[in-house]
Amino acid sequence: MRRFLDWFFRNRQTGEITIAQMPNPALWIVLAGSVVSWVWHPPGRTGANLDCLVKAGLVIWAFDEVVRGANPWRRCLGAAVLIYEAATLV
């Protein structure tokens, strides 16, 4: 089990354990859009556009994690977000 956890969380570039990282630009957009939506509660079309921006940013971030994630944990996290976003689009 220890070898699996080491493999699952070990960063392939640095050799360190990586669970969380500094947000990339797509995730900063998601965070900023979420804060604006939470504080302001924009009505109508503005709110819908903001929701679309947040969802699009999450999909971009998740796809980037699946493709370039630092370790299997980050790739699984990206895949889980992609699955969630696809499921909530319906």
Ordered by start, the domain boundaries in the chain are 2-89
Residue type at position 67: V
Neighbours of 75 (CB within 10 A): 17
The string of pLDDT tens digits covering residues 66-90 is 999 999 999 999 999 999 999 998 7
**Tens digit of each residue's pLDDT (9 = 90 or more) over 17-41:** 999 999 999 999 999 999 999 999 9
User: CA 33 to CA 66: how far, in whole Å?
Assistant: 22
